[in-house]
């Protein structure tokens, strides 16, 4: 019987062990998509206790706690202390066996704090106090965690209207770890509410210094911000939506739709879809012009629980997998750009596992020989960010394309303790490939090439693809 979470955790064969320890384990981390707060990095934030570090804003844990019958006051309530919330999390952890949270929790305890004990009610106080004591020392600050995990590059997620003041501060300081912005224009496309859209346009006008009264003005202002992001080292854009938008439209239609919603009138579904189609295309052109990589996260239906939305707000752990019919619109969107020879490097992340082969085959349609792996199938995302989900994504990519050109893992997280997910991914990758070697499905005589393949997927492909 194997010991839980020993040095060969996840690694089931001698070849997997060799690949991980020889080729993957010590590589730096490029976290090219995350939701870390750049202010916390710039100010080198110090966490008061383990409860704050682990539970504030972590909707993965919140979902598990609700499923375990924990009262909301111990999850997001303001009337309970960090210790009280942590105590309830420790009560929940044993019930998360076979959920990725069980692995993540103990990987984080082990790699960040050197704690091998299992978290449960009997060990909660001891673990809480030991970690909290360490959190009050300099090496366990926000930057301390990044250095501990050998993070080389972090790409945050930022709205076009963000000032990027903390990125500027880090750049001026010369902080050794690159902290770069990522262009996330979701709010710029959100025309479901005329009042909110008007507020956004006015904010964009203020930060860009461009008066906006027409759609052309709007795109000009966004281009100005896009240029500013580029000056700050931005290399990627990112979009999050339920499905791709690729409606046919005329410029006159988009001008009229903008005038209508900016003037305070609500749009119908057809108008919303046309406007988003135009915005996706215009944004893709900007990315292509600058040589950026565009990312698309699709297939989520958000804020399903209206009661919790009202009480807690968005990102409260009430999102789920959607089932949009997206293949035709995805192909139409990509083909329009490709036909104009203006398709930027692209990463597509699906949330519904039924779409694995859909995306894996779709990306093959638009590889053009200019860049190895120009169109990428993104790593297992959100609900698929677990062992089975990662294996399924890599198997689909292997069957339909080139796993060897895959740009690998990212945290997609707000937590400074999420970096063990890169190690988790590397172990899963090595186990997957190692098993093939053990079964004679890959040649053991080519271990040098296979080892380099592991290194590339773990680190070098991303470094070269994004030109970090």
Q: What is the structure's pLDDT at 240?
A: 95
Give the position of tokens 């870390």: 36
Cα(255)–Cα(171) distance, rounded to whole angstroms?
39
Residue 345 pairs in a beta bridge with: 293
pLDDT at 140: 97
Predicted structure pTM score: 0.97
| Cβ atoms of residues 154 and 146 within 8 Å | yes
**With DSSP H G I counted as helix, E B as strand and the rest as coil, what are the percentages for the chain, rounded to 5?**
55, 10, 35
Q: How many CB atoms lie within 10 A of CB 450?
A: 23
In terms of CATH, what superfamily is 14-47+148-465? Metal-dependent hydrolases (3.20.20.140)
Max alpha carbon distance in the chain (Å)?
69
Residues in Cβ contact with 90 at an 8 Å cutoff, skipping those fewer than 6 apart: 119, 120, 121, 123, 124, 127, 128
For 79, the 3-state DSSP assignment is: coil
Tell me the CA end-to-end span of the chain in Å, nearest whole number.
43
- The structure tokens listed for 97 are 């066996």
DSSP secondary-structure letter at 119? P
Place of tokens 């009560």: 91
DSSP string for 154-166 = EE--B-TT---HH
The CB-based long-range contact list for 318-322 (8 Å cut-off, 24+ gap) reads 319/59, 319/382, 320/383, 321/351, 321/352, 321/383, 322/242, 322/243, 322/351, 322/352
Residue-wise over 395-421: b if at least 16 C-beta within 10 A, else e?
ebbbebbebbbbbbbbbbbbbbbbbbb
pLDDT value for 216: 98
User: Contact at 8 Å (CB) between 240 and 300?
Assistant: yes
The answer to whether the CB of 324 falls within 8 A of the CB of 298 is yes
Q: Alpha-carbon distance 247 to 273, whole Å?
A: 7
Contact 245, 273 (CB under 8 A): yes
Could you state, in order of their start, the residue ranges of all structural domains in the chain? 14-47+148-465, 48-140
CA-CA distance, 420 to 25, in Å (whole number)? 11
User: What are the two backbone dihedrals, phi and then psi, of residue 220, each rounded to the nearest 5 degrees?
Assistant: -60, -40
Measured CA to CA, the distance from residue 47 to residue 51 in angstroms comes to 9
Q: Alpha-carbon distance 147 to 28, whole Å?
A: 10
Locate 359 and state its tokens: 């995306």
Distance CA 260, CA 366 (A): 36
Domain spanning 48-140: CATH superfamily: uronate isomerase, domain 2, chain A (1.10.2020.10)
**Best CA proximity match to 89, nearest among 78, 74, 76:** 74
pLDDT in tens, the chain (468 residues): 889 999 999 999 999 999 999 999 999 999 999 999 999 999 999 999 999 999 998 999 999 999 999 999 999 999 999 999 999 999 999 999 999 999 999 999 999 999 999 999 999 999 999 999 999 999 999 999 999 999 999 999 999 999 999 999 999 999 999 999 999 999 999 999 999 999 999 999 999 999 999 999 999 999 999 999 999 999 999 999 999 999 999 999 999 999 999 999 999 999 999 999 999 999 999 999 999 999 999 999 988 899 988 898 888 888 898 988 799 999 999 999 999 999 999 999 999 999 999 999 999 999 999 999 999 999 999 999 999 999 999 999 999 999 999 999 999 999 999 999 999 999 999 999 999 999 999 999 999 999 999 999 999 999 999 999
């Amino acid at each position: 019987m194997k010991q839980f979470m020993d040095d060969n955790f996840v690694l089931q064969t001698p070849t997997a062990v060799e690949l991980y320890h020889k080729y993957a384990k010590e590589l730096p981390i490029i976290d090219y998509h995350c939701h870390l707060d750049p202010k916390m990095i710039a100010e080198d934030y110090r966490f008061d206790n383990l409860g704050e570090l682990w539970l504030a804003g972590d909707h993965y844990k919140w979902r598990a706690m609700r499923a375990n019958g924990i009262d909301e006051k111990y999850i997001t309530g303001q009337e309970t202390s960090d210790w009280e919330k942590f105590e309830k999390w420790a009560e929940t952890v044993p019930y998360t066996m076979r959920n990725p949270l069980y692995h993540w929790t103990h990987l984080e305890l082990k790699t960040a704090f050197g704690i091998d004990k299992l978290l449960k009610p009997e060990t909660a106080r001891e673990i809480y106090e030991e970690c909290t004591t360490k959190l009050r020392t300099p090496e366990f600050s926000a930057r301390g965690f990044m250095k501990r995990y050998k993070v080389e590059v972090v790409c945050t997620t930022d709205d076009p209207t963000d000032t990027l003041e903390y990125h500027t501060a880090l750049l001026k300081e010369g902080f050794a770890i690159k902290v770069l912005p990522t262009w996330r224009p979701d709010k710029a496309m959100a025309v479901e509410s005329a009042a909110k859209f008007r507020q956004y346009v006015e904010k964009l006008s203020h930060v860009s210094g461009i008066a906006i009264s027409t759609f052309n003005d709007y795109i000009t202002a966004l281009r100005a911000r896009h240029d500013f992001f580029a000056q700050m080292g931005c290399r990627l854009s990112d979009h999050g939506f339920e499905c791709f938008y690729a409606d046919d439209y005329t410029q006159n239609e988009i001008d009229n739709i903008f005038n209508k919603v900016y003037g305070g009138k609500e749009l119908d579904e057809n108008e919303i879809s046309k406007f988003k189609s135009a915005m996706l295309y215009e944004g893709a052109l900007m990315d292509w012009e600058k040589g950026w990589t565009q990312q698309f996260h699709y297939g989520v239906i958000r804020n399903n629980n209206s009661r919790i939305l009202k009480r807690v707000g968005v990102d409260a752990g009430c999102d789920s997998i959607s089932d949009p019919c997206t293949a035709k619109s995805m192909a139409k969107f990509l083909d329009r750009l490709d036909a104009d020879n203006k398709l930027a490097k692209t990463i597509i992340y699906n949330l519904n596992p039924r779409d694995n082969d859909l995306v894996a085959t779709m990306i093959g349609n638009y590889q053009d020989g200019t860049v190895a792996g120009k169109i990428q199938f993104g790593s297992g995302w959100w609900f698929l960010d677990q062992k089975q989900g990662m294996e399924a994504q890599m198997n689909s990519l292997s069957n339909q394309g080139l796993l060897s050109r895959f740009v690998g893992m990212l945290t997609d997280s707000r937590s400074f303790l999420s970096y063990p997910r890169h190690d988790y991914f590397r172990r899963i990758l090595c186990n997957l490939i190692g098993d093939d070697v053990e079964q004679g499905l890959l040649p053991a005589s080519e271990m040098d090439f296979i080892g380099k393949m592991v290194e590339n997927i773990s680190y070098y492909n991303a470094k070269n693809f994004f030109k970090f």
